[in-house]
Amino acid sequence: METLHHIQALRQALAGPRRAGQRIALVPTMGNLHEGHLELVAMARAHADLVVATIFVNPLQFGEGEDLDAYPRTLAEDQAGLARAGCDLLFAPSTRELYPQGLDVQTRVHVAGVSEGLCGSSRPGHFDGVATVVSLLFNLVQPDVACFGEKDYQQLAVIRQLTRDLHFPVKIVGAPIVRAADGLALSSRNGYLSEEERAQAPGLYATLCELRDALIAGTPAADAIATAHERLVSRGFVPDYLALRRADDLGEVDAQTQEAIILAAAQLGPARLIDNLNVNLSQRDG
Protein backbone atom coordinates (compact mmCIF):
# COMPACT_ATOMS: atom_id res chain seq x y z
CA MET A 1 0.00 0.00 0.00
CA GLU A 2 1.28 3.43 -0.95
CA THR A 3 0.89 6.43 1.38
CA LEU A 4 0.69 9.92 -0.11
CA HIS A 5 0.54 13.28 1.63
CA HIS A 6 0.21 15.76 -1.24
CA ILE A 7 -2.62 16.52 -3.66
CA GLN A 8 -0.46 16.53 -6.76
CA ALA A 9 0.98 13.11 -5.93
CA LEU A 10 -2.53 11.77 -5.35
CA ARG A 11 -3.72 13.02 -8.72
CA GLN A 12 -0.72 11.52 -10.46
CA ALA A 13 -1.20 8.17 -8.74
CA LEU A 14 -4.86 7.98 -9.78
CA ALA A 15 -4.42 9.19 -13.37
CA GLY A 16 -3.26 5.83 -14.72
CA PRO A 17 -5.95 3.67 -13.10
CA ARG A 18 -8.60 6.16 -14.20
CA ARG A 19 -7.36 6.07 -17.82
CA ALA A 20 -7.43 2.28 -17.64
CA GLY A 21 -11.09 2.39 -16.69
CA GLN A 22 -10.63 1.01 -13.19
CA ARG A 23 -13.40 1.65 -10.68
CA ILE A 24 -12.16 3.64 -7.70
CA ALA A 25 -13.63 3.42 -4.20
CA LEU A 26 -13.06 5.95 -1.43
CA VAL A 27 -13.10 5.33 2.34
CA PRO A 28 -12.73 8.64 4.22
CA THR A 29 -11.65 8.38 7.88
CA MET A 30 -10.09 10.43 10.65
CA GLY A 31 -7.73 7.60 11.56
CA ASN A 32 -7.35 5.73 14.85
CA LEU A 33 -8.94 2.90 12.92
CA HIS A 34 -10.95 0.04 14.38
CA GLU A 35 -12.61 -3.03 12.90
CA GLY A 36 -15.54 -0.96 11.65
CA HIS A 37 -13.24 1.11 9.45
CA LEU A 38 -11.58 -2.01 8.09
CA GLU A 39 -15.01 -3.44 7.23
CA LEU A 40 -15.52 -0.31 5.11
CA VAL A 41 -12.33 -1.13 3.23
CA ALA A 42 -13.55 -4.68 2.61
CA MET A 43 -16.87 -3.31 1.36
CA ALA A 44 -15.07 -0.85 -0.89
CA ARG A 45 -12.94 -3.68 -2.31
CA ALA A 46 -16.14 -5.50 -3.31
CA HIS A 47 -17.31 -2.46 -5.27
CA ALA A 48 -14.13 -1.37 -7.04
CA ASP A 49 -10.78 -2.24 -8.53
CA LEU A 50 -8.80 0.31 -6.53
CA VAL A 51 -9.46 1.31 -2.91
CA VAL A 52 -8.33 4.71 -1.63
CA ALA A 53 -8.57 5.46 2.09
CA THR A 54 -8.00 8.87 3.58
CA ILE A 55 -6.90 9.84 7.07
CA PHE A 56 -7.49 13.46 8.00
CA VAL A 57 -8.49 14.84 11.38
CA ASN A 58 -10.62 17.63 9.98
CA PRO A 59 -10.52 20.77 12.14
CA LEU A 60 -13.59 22.22 10.43
CA GLN A 61 -15.86 19.62 12.03
CA PHE A 62 -14.66 20.20 15.60
CA GLY A 63 -16.31 22.94 17.63
CA GLU A 64 -14.96 25.04 20.46
CA GLY A 65 -14.11 22.87 23.45
CA GLU A 66 -14.26 19.61 21.47
CA ASP A 67 -11.49 17.03 21.28
CA LEU A 68 -9.52 18.15 18.20
CA ASP A 69 -6.17 18.29 20.00
CA ALA A 70 -6.85 15.12 22.00
CA TYR A 71 -8.16 13.09 19.06
CA PRO A 72 -5.76 10.14 18.71
CA ARG A 73 -3.34 10.14 15.79
CA THR A 74 -2.08 6.61 15.12
CA LEU A 75 -0.79 6.71 11.55
CA ALA A 76 1.67 3.79 11.73
CA GLU A 77 -0.90 1.42 13.22
CA ASP A 78 -3.53 2.64 10.77
CA GLN A 79 -1.24 2.04 7.80
CA ALA A 80 -0.65 -1.53 8.92
CA GLY A 81 -4.36 -2.19 9.40
CA LEU A 82 -5.31 -0.70 6.03
CA ALA A 83 -2.65 -2.73 4.26
CA ARG A 84 -3.94 -5.94 5.85
CA ALA A 85 -7.50 -5.03 4.86
CA GLY A 86 -6.56 -4.66 1.20
CA CYS A 87 -6.35 -0.89 0.79
CA ASP A 88 -4.32 0.16 -2.26
CA LEU A 89 -3.58 3.79 -1.51
CA LEU A 90 -3.71 5.98 1.60
CA PHE A 91 -4.00 9.76 1.32
CA ALA A 92 -3.01 11.43 4.60
CA PRO A 93 -2.72 15.17 3.99
CA SER A 94 -1.85 17.91 6.45
CA THR A 95 -4.31 20.66 7.31
CA ARG A 96 -2.21 23.11 5.31
CA GLU A 97 -2.34 20.82 2.27
CA LEU A 98 -6.15 20.70 2.21
CA TYR A 99 -6.81 24.23 3.48
CA PRO A 100 -3.82 26.25 2.19
CA GLN A 101 -5.49 29.63 2.66
CA GLY A 102 -6.39 28.92 6.29
CA LEU A 103 -9.59 27.90 8.00
CA ASP A 104 -10.99 31.42 8.40
CA VAL A 105 -11.33 32.01 4.66
CA GLN A 106 -11.99 28.43 3.56
CA THR A 107 -15.05 27.99 1.33
CA ARG A 108 -17.55 25.84 3.20
CA VAL A 109 -20.43 23.64 2.09
CA HIS A 110 -23.75 23.74 3.94
CA VAL A 111 -26.36 21.01 3.47
CA ALA A 112 -29.73 22.43 4.47
CA GLY A 113 -32.43 20.55 6.34
CA VAL A 114 -30.99 17.17 7.15
CA SER A 115 -27.95 18.69 8.90
CA GLU A 116 -30.17 20.53 11.39
CA GLY A 117 -31.27 19.12 14.74
CA LEU A 118 -29.80 16.10 16.55
CA CYS A 119 -26.00 16.37 16.32
CA GLY A 120 -26.44 19.49 14.21
CA SER A 121 -27.93 21.29 17.21
CA SER A 122 -25.36 20.03 19.69
CA ARG A 123 -22.37 20.64 17.44
CA PRO A 124 -22.97 23.87 15.47
CA GLY A 125 -20.99 23.91 12.22
CA HIS A 126 -20.02 20.25 12.52
CA PHE A 127 -21.84 19.09 9.41
CA ASP A 128 -20.60 22.07 7.40
CA GLY A 129 -17.11 20.80 8.17
CA VAL A 130 -18.08 17.26 7.16
CA ALA A 131 -19.73 18.42 3.93
CA THR A 132 -16.76 20.62 3.06
CA VAL A 133 -14.09 17.96 3.50
CA VAL A 134 -16.15 15.26 1.75
CA SER A 135 -16.69 17.61 -1.20
CA LEU A 136 -12.94 18.22 -1.34
CA LEU A 137 -12.16 14.52 -1.24
CA PHE A 138 -14.75 13.72 -3.91
CA ASN A 139 -13.13 16.34 -6.11
CA LEU A 140 -9.58 15.13 -5.48
CA VAL A 141 -10.15 11.37 -5.69
CA GLN A 142 -13.11 11.40 -8.12
CA PRO A 143 -14.28 8.01 -6.87
CA ASP A 144 -17.00 5.89 -8.45
CA VAL A 145 -18.16 4.74 -5.01
CA ALA A 146 -17.63 5.95 -1.44
CA CYS A 147 -18.25 3.94 1.73
CA PHE A 148 -19.41 5.38 5.05
CA GLY A 149 -20.51 3.75 8.29
CA GLU A 150 -24.12 3.88 9.41
CA LYS A 151 -23.17 4.59 13.02
CA ASP A 152 -22.90 8.26 12.05
CA TYR A 153 -26.40 8.06 10.58
CA GLN A 154 -27.08 11.79 10.32
CA GLN A 155 -23.67 12.28 8.73
CA LEU A 156 -24.50 9.62 6.15
CA ALA A 157 -27.81 11.38 5.42
CA VAL A 158 -25.94 14.67 4.95
CA ILE A 159 -23.49 13.03 2.54
CA ARG A 160 -26.28 11.40 0.53
CA GLN A 161 -28.05 14.75 0.12
CA LEU A 162 -24.78 16.52 -0.66
CA THR A 163 -24.05 13.99 -3.39
CA ARG A 164 -27.51 14.41 -4.92
CA ASP A 165 -27.62 18.18 -4.67
CA LEU A 166 -24.15 18.79 -6.13
CA HIS A 167 -24.50 16.03 -8.76
CA PHE A 168 -21.39 14.15 -7.74
CA PRO A 169 -21.22 10.95 -9.86
CA VAL A 170 -20.49 8.89 -6.77
CA LYS A 171 -22.44 5.91 -5.44
CA ILE A 172 -22.78 6.20 -1.66
CA VAL A 173 -22.68 2.89 0.20
CA GLY A 174 -23.64 2.69 3.87
CA ALA A 175 -22.09 -0.06 5.99
CA PRO A 176 -23.93 -1.57 8.97
CA ILE A 177 -22.70 -0.71 12.45
CA VAL A 178 -19.93 -2.98 13.72
CA ARG A 179 -20.42 -3.79 17.39
CA ALA A 180 -18.38 -5.35 20.14
CA ALA A 181 -19.68 -8.61 21.57
CA ASP A 182 -21.55 -6.70 24.30
CA GLY A 183 -23.31 -4.48 21.76
CA LEU A 184 -21.27 -1.29 22.01
CA ALA A 185 -20.87 0.35 18.61
CA LEU A 186 -17.18 0.52 17.70
CA SER A 187 -15.82 4.06 17.77
CA SER A 188 -12.44 5.70 18.01
CA ARG A 189 -13.78 7.65 21.00
CA ASN A 190 -14.37 4.43 22.96
CA GLY A 191 -10.69 4.67 23.78
CA TYR A 192 -11.46 7.63 26.05
CA LEU A 193 -13.46 5.39 28.41
CA SER A 194 -12.09 4.12 31.69
CA GLU A 195 -12.47 0.42 32.51
CA GLU A 196 -15.57 1.17 34.60
CA GLU A 197 -17.08 3.40 31.91
CA ARG A 198 -16.39 0.79 29.24
CA ALA A 199 -18.40 -1.70 31.30
CA GLN A 200 -21.29 0.81 31.44
CA ALA A 201 -21.14 1.80 27.77
CA PRO A 202 -23.22 -1.08 26.31
CA GLY A 203 -26.15 0.38 28.24
CA LEU A 204 -26.66 2.83 25.39
CA TYR A 205 -27.39 0.07 22.88
CA ALA A 206 -29.44 -1.85 25.45
CA THR A 207 -31.61 1.23 25.97
CA LEU A 208 -32.19 1.60 22.23
CA CYS A 209 -33.22 -2.06 22.01
CA GLU A 210 -35.64 -1.60 24.89
CA LEU A 211 -37.09 1.49 23.24
CA ARG A 212 -37.52 -0.37 19.95
CA ASP A 213 -39.30 -3.21 21.71
CA ALA A 214 -41.60 -0.80 23.55
CA LEU A 215 -42.53 0.94 20.29
CA ILE A 216 -43.29 -2.37 18.58
CA ALA A 217 -45.39 -3.39 21.58
CA GLY A 218 -47.55 -0.33 20.98
CA THR A 219 -46.32 2.06 23.65
CA PRO A 220 -46.91 5.67 22.52
CA ALA A 221 -43.66 7.12 21.21
CA ALA A 222 -43.51 10.02 23.67
CA ASP A 223 -43.96 7.69 26.65
CA ALA A 224 -41.45 5.14 25.35
CA ILE A 225 -38.84 7.83 24.69
CA ALA A 226 -39.34 9.38 28.14
CA THR A 227 -38.84 6.00 29.80
CA ALA A 228 -35.74 5.30 27.71
CA HIS A 229 -34.31 8.70 28.62
CA GLU A 230 -34.73 7.88 32.31
CA ARG A 231 -33.00 4.55 31.78
CA LEU A 232 -30.03 6.21 30.13
CA VAL A 233 -29.64 8.50 33.11
CA SER A 234 -29.96 5.59 35.55
CA ARG A 235 -27.22 3.77 33.60
CA GLY A 236 -24.80 6.63 34.10
CA PHE A 237 -25.21 8.55 30.83
CA VAL A 238 -25.83 12.24 30.34
CA PRO A 239 -28.20 12.19 27.33
CA ASP A 240 -27.79 14.78 24.61
CA TYR A 241 -30.73 13.60 22.54
CA LEU A 242 -32.90 10.53 22.08
CA ALA A 243 -35.18 10.75 19.05
CA LEU A 244 -37.36 8.75 16.70
CA ARG A 245 -37.21 9.86 13.07
CA ARG A 246 -38.09 8.62 9.60
CA ALA A 247 -35.27 6.41 8.38
CA ASP A 248 -35.15 7.78 4.84
CA ASP A 249 -34.82 11.52 5.48
CA LEU A 250 -34.73 12.02 9.28
CA GLY A 251 -38.05 13.85 9.17
CA GLU A 252 -40.58 13.67 11.98
CA VAL A 253 -42.43 10.37 12.30
CA ASP A 254 -46.14 10.42 11.53
CA ALA A 255 -48.97 7.89 11.38
CA GLN A 256 -47.90 6.74 7.91
CA THR A 257 -44.26 6.10 8.85
CA GLN A 258 -43.21 2.46 8.64
CA GLU A 259 -39.41 2.50 8.55
CA ALA A 260 -38.08 4.62 11.39
CA ILE A 261 -34.81 4.99 13.21
CA ILE A 262 -33.98 5.65 16.84
CA LEU A 263 -31.01 7.98 17.23
CA ALA A 264 -29.16 8.81 20.42
CA ALA A 265 -26.15 10.72 21.65
CA ALA A 266 -25.01 10.67 25.26
CA GLN A 267 -21.97 11.60 27.30
CA LEU A 268 -20.27 8.93 29.36
CA GLY A 269 -17.29 10.30 31.21
CA PRO A 270 -15.06 12.02 28.65
CA ALA A 271 -16.64 10.30 25.64
CA ARG A 272 -19.61 11.45 23.59
CA LEU A 273 -21.17 8.24 22.27
CA ILE A 274 -23.68 8.00 19.42
CA ASP A 275 -25.73 5.06 18.24
CA ASN A 276 -28.85 4.26 16.27
CA LEU A 277 -31.26 1.40 15.68
CA ASN A 278 -33.82 0.78 12.97
CA VAL A 279 -37.42 0.00 13.93
CA ASN A 280 -40.23 -1.14 11.67
CA LEU A 281 -43.30 0.67 13.00
CA SER A 282 -45.61 -1.39 10.81
CA GLN A 283 -45.00 -4.21 13.31
CA ARG A 284 -46.60 -2.26 16.15
CA ASP A 285 -49.24 -4.08 18.15
CA GLY A 286 -52.69 -2.64 17.73
pLDDT in tens for each of the 286 residues of the chain? 999 999 999 999 999 999 999 999 999 999 999 999 999 999 999 999 999 999 999 999 999 889 999 999 999 999 999 999 999 999 999 999 999 999 999 999 999 999 999 999 999 999 999 999 999 999 999 999 999 999 999 999 999 999 999 999 999 999 999 999 999 999 999 999 999 999 999 999 999 999 999 999 999 999 999 999 999 999 999 999 999 999 999 999 998 999 999 999 999 999 999 999 999 998 887 5
Picking from 233, 240, 224, 227, the residue whose alpha carbon sits closest to that of residue 273 is 240
Domain limits, the chain? 2-175, 188-280
pLDDT at 286: 58
Q: Architecture of domain 2-175 in CATH?
A: 3-Layer(aba) Sandwich (3.40)
For residues 7-27, one letter each, b for 16 or more C-beta atoms within 10 angstroms of the residue's C-beta and e for the rest, the string is beebeebbeebeeeeebbbbb
- Residue burial 62-76, b: 16+ Cβ < 10 Å; e: rest: beeeeeeeebeeeee
271-280: strand order across its sheet: 238-246, 259-268, 271-280
- Looking at residue 88, its pLDDT comes to 98
- Residue 231's contacts (CB-CB under 8 Å, 6 or more residues apart) are 203, 207, 210
Topology of domain 188-280 in CATH is Pantoate--beta-alanine Ligase; Chain: A,domain 2 (3.30.1300)
Predicted local confidence at residue 211, as pLDDT:
98
* pTM recorded for the entire structure: 0.95
Active site members: 37
